Structure 1
Amino acid sequence: MLKLAFAGLTSLVIVASGPALAQGAAPGPLAQRISQGASELLNAADWKALTESRIDVIKTALQLTPEQAKLWPAVEDAIRSRAQMRYLRLQALATPRTERRDVIELMRDRADVLSQRSAALKKLADAWQPLFATLDGAQKARLKILAVYMIHEARDAVESRRMQLEDEYDGEAVD
């Protein structure tokens, strides 16, 4: 029970750190603040530590048996791979662009990104499948609770950031 409480507390700290990072927007034009998003991103070492903490929370919540633990490294690798892809994608988005881009180019770039994300999600599903098949009912229930909680918290963080940007945009001229 102590491990489950620790896992819950750790996930709360991890998820709550997103909105806290987003609260430090500096005054100035909206475009400048959006481009300053790069400074609000975690550095590579912090991103890796956050990913490792998330992995530990999931593993702790599952309380894997020795046989299940043999299937866990593939899941860890897939989680790390997706986290690294997301970090690189956010870094690229935070880099200010000076050139104007063609609408068709934007659509093709978006399609490429979605293809990469699709492949990474498929890799994650493929990694989870053998392990998930061995989970008992209690483990599946804990995984579901953790997933629903984390999705809810992530959605709240995104909505909070969106509202903050809307509030900052009100009354400002866009460059």
Structure 2
Amino acid sequence: MRRFAIAGMAALAIAASTAVYAQQGWFREHMHHMRLSPEDRAAMLDARIAAVHAGLKLTPDQDKLWPPVESAVRDFAKLRMDRANARMRAREDAQNDQETPPDPVARLRQRADDMATTSAALKKIADAADPLYKTLDDGQKRRLALLTHHGRMGGGGEGWRHRWMERDGGGPRPDRDGGPERL
């Protein structure tokens, strides 16, 4: 059950960071001409976090444990937004500087650094969420899974991966933190 709690809160972080990649997925397929502004992304993040908070229907004692969770999720989303913005700037710089060949070793090092930073941020979410999760009743845990999409596509932590594979046909995504195409 503890693994489910940590996985659920990690899913919350991932779901909250959806604002960073809003131009992907449904938006990319149906509204590819529309780019979200930083204000739009922030509003979507606020809405996702508010939806999870409201859906959990926390008791007053539980509500006292919410602020560290929200803060950790916001920090994680900011990390992802900053990283996405850095990738966009790097792509623009690469387009302007066609003479410099790509450096796969530097990209591997950057990917490793990014993974370490992401790992630390996810641990921060897990540490913040653990005390709150321990106080949730079964109904709140079920709603948490639904609100964070952890309970979709057959349950487990694979729901978001299955949707990605169905949508894109599987395989690595060059637009997401690396992958073989970026080597």
Into which bin does the TM-score normalised by the smaller protein fall? Answer: 0.5 to 0.7
Query: Is structure 2 residue 54 aligned with structure 1 residue 60?
Result: yes
Note closer, same or farther for the CA distance 1:43–1:137 as it changes in structure 2 (3 Å cut): same
Note closer, same or farther for the CA distance 1:61–1:110 as it changes in structure 2 (3 Å cut): same
CA distance in 1, matches of 2:37, 2:57: 31
**Matched residue, 1:82:** 76
Note closer, same or farther for the CA distance 1:94–1:159 as it changes in structure 2 (3 Å cut): farther
Note closer, same or farther for the CA distance 1:157–1:43 as it changes in structure 2 (3 Å cut): farther
AA partner of residue 114 (structure 1): M
Consecutive unaligned residues in structure 2, runs of 5 or more: 1-15, 153-157, 170-183
Note closer, same or farther for the CA distance 1:54–1:21 as it changes in structure 2 (3 Å cut): same
> What is the TM-score normalised by the length of structure 2?
0.64
**Matched residue, 1:47:** 41
AA partner of residue 139 (structure 2): A
Higher RCO (Cα < 8 Å, 6 or more apart): 1
Per-residue CA shift, 1:9-51, capped at 9, x if unaligned?
xx9xx8998534203688xxxxxxxxxxxx8652211111111
- The alignment covers a number of residue pairs equal to 138
1:46-125 superposed matches below 5 A: 46-95=40-89, 96=91, 97=94, 98=97, 99-125=100-126
Compute the RMSD of aligned alpha carbons: 3.1
Higher CA-based Rg: 1
Consecutive unaligned residues in structure 1, runs of 5 or more: 1-10, 27-38, 164-175
CA distance in 1, matches of 2:24, 2:105: 33
Deviation at 1:146, TM superposition (A): 2.5
AA partner of residue 102 (structure 1): D
SS at match of 2:58: coil
> What is the TM-score normalised by the length of structure 1?
0.66
CA distance in 2, matches of 1:121, 1:114: 10
AA partner of residue 109 (structure 2): R
Question: Which consecutive aligned stretches of 4+ in structure 1 deviate over 6 angstroms post-superposition?
Answer: 14-17
AA partner of residue 22 (structure 1): R
Q: Which has the higher helix share?
A: 1
Of 12, 15, 25, the match for 1:19: 25
Quote the sequence identity (%): 35
